[in-house]
């Protein structure tokens, strides 16, 4: 049964403040749930892990983590309710203003507005047939605007057009308000949780749908104000100018946009992305396409590590499922750290389990090693672009074009700019690290716009070239460009494009192990070898890594060990990277360039 039709009087008398008061109540509930989740994750779980062991402790940790997820779900849903009610009030207020303007005009003109929305007007104007003014009448909206009589020859009373305009405005405001009420009623009916204390994965799938529905309904209420096209400094100023309530609403409804916006403080990005992570898991759960299954495995592993409360603490600065996936993870708070290293991975990197286990470990190892030299240090792995994917290393050299490096370089520039903007320090020490194709991406970042202002040092490891032929062209001074190239790292010996053209008939393996591999001219696939004397960077010592071809078969592991810390291996590379990242480059162990 449909509710009674909305009238202009009901719209006029509607108390939107009561809707906003209800929104505040849901907001308070969301904040309490968020505080409870924080207490579980920051105090209870850490205390339990530090003091208790055994099956009982393991079981208690699992139950506390589930309780934390439940509070996270409560926080998300209550936040959506708050934004829905505030957006409803926002849109209804707009129609109340339209209505009030029409009623004010009616009072000024001394017209009478009737309960049904019709408008009576008095006699006025000059008669055409006699001297008497044309008589008054009543105008009502026919449902379509701007259909009033076009001229005084048809309706000579000038008040008719004015009354018709008022009636149409009244009817338009009422119709719009009724549509708004209907639209939001559907959204509010959806925002309900399943019965019981446990929040299963399927509920997060529903929550993802809820968030999308609230976004569609809320429309311009919040979304249009997000400064997507602004500079990181402008975004930082925008966020600083919001009230706490406004920030909470943005975090609840647009965690993906706020969490991935350079210039927003790390703590806010982390809070947004932790919620968005759950929504993404819910969104992808149950899908059977290869991309969804692959990304879901990576997301779940990141979620597991976040819940494990690793040290240094993790900050999730970016997460998304677009392209090959996005993930930006910092070990240590980059806003409070004096030293920040941002590492860009390369070829074959995507949001999958290997990334969540391997690349995150590299950043964590870097942070742990750096903190031995300066406790105020953070290390980041930045997967903010689509790195090339090559299922066959030796048969797919053509995949190594430069378009993705250029696109990724522009995005990385924005990220490093954001790090400078949000830092608590006037002049933090920032190091950009490029591994493999990621070094080409870092090189591209230095060649766009004004380069990478604020970046002090650049580290290139496992590099196939960076797009320039001299270290001084990277914009930080050649004395601040450092290169690690393992003796057995095949990627650092890729032939130049000219050499590939000459040896195309020799077979794919010839490019790296045959006659044409690096014929002594210091040219690699993307330009001059960064480890060469001609390039002019400082080369630091690294472990030579396993040979490409040995009795154990074919291995490219030498390409991926620059960051790793392990008791059974020489950790000179990781130590050197940490020294550079903490501003102690004078202490690194060097070796002669090629």
State the Cα torsion 276-280-282-288 to the nearest 10°. Answer: 180
Coil, strand or helix at 460: strand
pLDDT along the chain (594 residues), means of 10: 73 93 89 85 73 77 80 84 87 93 95 94 76 84 50 67 93 92 84 66 70 73 86 96 89 90 96 91 89 96 88 96 96 98 94 96 96 97 92 48 89 96 96 95 94 95 92 95 92 62 46 44 75 94 77 70 81 95 97 90
Query: Exposed (0-12), middle (13-18) or buried (19+): which is 88, by Cβ within 10 Å?
Result: buried
d(CA 179, CA 115): 20
Task: For Cα atoms 24, 27, 32, give the angle at the middle one, nearest 5 degrees.
Answer: 130
469: nearest Cα among 447, 437, 498: 447
299: nearest Cα among 247, 339, 357, 217: 357
Q: Is 450 within 8 Å of 486 (Cβ atoms)? A: no
pLDDT reported for residue 201: 64
pLDDT reported for residue 193: 67
Q: How many helices (H) and strands (E) does the chain have?
A: 18, 15
Return the half-sphere exposure (C-beta side, CA atoms, 13 A cut-off) of residue 231. Answer: 7
Coil, strand or helix at 556: coil
Chain-centroid distance, C-alpha 537: 34
Provide the b/e sequence for 44-65 (b: ≥16 CB within 10 Å). bbeebbeeeeeeeeeebbeebb
Provide the b/e sequence for 181-199 (b: ≥16 CB within 10 Å). beebeebeeebeeeeeeeb
Q: Is 285 left (phi over 0), alpha (psi -120 to 50) or beta?
A: beta
Q: Is 291 within 8 Å of 263 (Cβ atoms)? A: no
pLDDT reported for residue 378: 98
- Report the DSSP beta bridge partners of residue 429: 339
Per DSSP, 395 falls in state T
Backbone angles phi, psi at 3, to 5 degrees: -70, 160
State the Cα torsion 303-196-36-39 to the nearest 10°. Answer: -50
Per DSSP, 474 falls in state G
pLDDT reported for residue 149: 45
d(CA 296, CA 381): 19
Tell me, letter by letter, the H, E, C secondary structure of 152-201.
CCCCCCHHHHHHHHHHHHHHHHHHHHHHHHHHHHHHHHHCCCCCCCCCCH
Task: For Cα atoms 111, 112, 116, give the angle at the middle one, nearest 5 degrees.
Answer: 135
pTM for the whole thing?
A: 0.78
pLDDT reported for residue 370: 97
- Total residues belonging to the chain: 594
Cα–Cα separations (whole angstroms), residue 58 to 68, 74, 301, 308: 15, 25, 18, 12
d(CA 47, CA 29): 26
d(CA 217, CA 186): 10
d(CA 350, CA 383): 8
Coil, strand or helix at 112: strand
């Amino acid at each position: 049964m449909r509710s009674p039709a909305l009238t202009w009087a009901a719209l006029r008398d509607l108390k939107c403040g009561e809707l906003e008061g209800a929104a505040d109540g849901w907001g308070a509930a969301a904040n309490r749930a968020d505080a409870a989740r924080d207490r579980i994750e920051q105090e209870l779980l850490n205390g339990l892990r530090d003091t208790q062991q055994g099956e009982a402790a393991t079981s208690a940790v699992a139950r506390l983590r589930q309780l934390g997820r439940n509070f996270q779900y409560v926080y998300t849903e209550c936040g959506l309710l708050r934004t829905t009610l505030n957006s409803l009030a926002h849109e209804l207020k707009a129609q109340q203003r339209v209505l009030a303007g029409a009623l004010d005009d009616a009072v000024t003109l001394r017209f009478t507005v009737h309960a049904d929305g019709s408008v009576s007007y008095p006699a006025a104007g000059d008669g055409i047939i006699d001297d008497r003014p044309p008589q008054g009448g009543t105008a009502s909206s026919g449902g379509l605007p701007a259909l009033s009589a076009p001229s005084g020859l048809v309706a000579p009373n000038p008040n008719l057009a004015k009354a018709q305009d008022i009636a149409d405005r009244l009817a338009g405001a009422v119709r719009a308000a009724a549509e708004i009420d209907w639209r939001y009623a559907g959204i509010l009916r959806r925002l309900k949780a399943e019965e019981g204390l446990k929040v299963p994965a399927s509920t997060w799938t529903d929550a993802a749908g809820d968030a999308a529905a609230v976004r569609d309904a809320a429309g311009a209420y919040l979304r249009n104000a997000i400064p997507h096209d602004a500079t990181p400094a402008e975004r930082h100023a925008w966020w600083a100018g919001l009230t706490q309530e406004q920030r909470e609403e943005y975090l609840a409804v647009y965690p993906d946009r706020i969490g991935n916006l350079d210039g927003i403080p790390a703590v806010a990005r982390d809070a947004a992305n932790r919620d968005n992570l759950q929504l993404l898991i819910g969104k992808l759960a149950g899908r059977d396409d290869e991309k969804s299954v692959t990304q879901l495995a990576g997301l779940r592993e990141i979620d597991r590590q976040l819940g494990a409360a690793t040290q240094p603490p993790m900050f999730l600065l970016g997460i998304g499922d677009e392209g090959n996936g996005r993930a930006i993870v910092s070990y240590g708070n980059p806003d409070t750290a004096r030293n920040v290293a941002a590492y860009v991975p390369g070829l074959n990197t995507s949001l999958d389990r290997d990334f969540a286990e391997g690349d995150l470990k590299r950043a964590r190892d870097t942070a742990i090693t750096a903190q031995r030299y300066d406790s105020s240090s953070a290390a980041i792995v930045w997967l903010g672009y689509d790195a090339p994917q090559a299922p066959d290393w030796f048969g797919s050299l053509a995949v190594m074009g430069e378009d993705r490096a250029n696109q990724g370089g522009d995005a990385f520039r924005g990220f490093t700019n954001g790090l400078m903007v949000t830092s608590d320090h006037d002049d933090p020490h920032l190091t950009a690290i490029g591994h493999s194709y990621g070094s080409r991406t870092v090189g591209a970042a230095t060649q766009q716009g004004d380069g990478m202002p604020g970046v002090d040092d650049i580290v290139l490891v496992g590099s196939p070239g960076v797009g320039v032929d001299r270290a001084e062209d990277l914009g930080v001074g050649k004395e601040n460009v450092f290169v690690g190239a393992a003796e057995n790292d095949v990627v650092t010996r890729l032939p130049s494009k000219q050499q590939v053209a000459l040896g195309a008939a020799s077979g794919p393996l010839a490019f790296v192990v045959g006659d044409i591999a690096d014929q002594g001219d210091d040219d690699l696939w993307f330009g001059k070898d960064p480890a060469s004397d001609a390039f002019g960077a400082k080369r630091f010592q690294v472990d030579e890594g396993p040979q490409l071809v040995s009795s154990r078969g074919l291995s490219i592991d030498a390409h991926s060990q620059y960051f790793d810390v392990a008791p059974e291996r020489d950790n000179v590379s990781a130590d050197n990277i940490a020294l550079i990242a903490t501003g102690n480059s004078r202490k690194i162990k060097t070796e002669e360039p090629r």
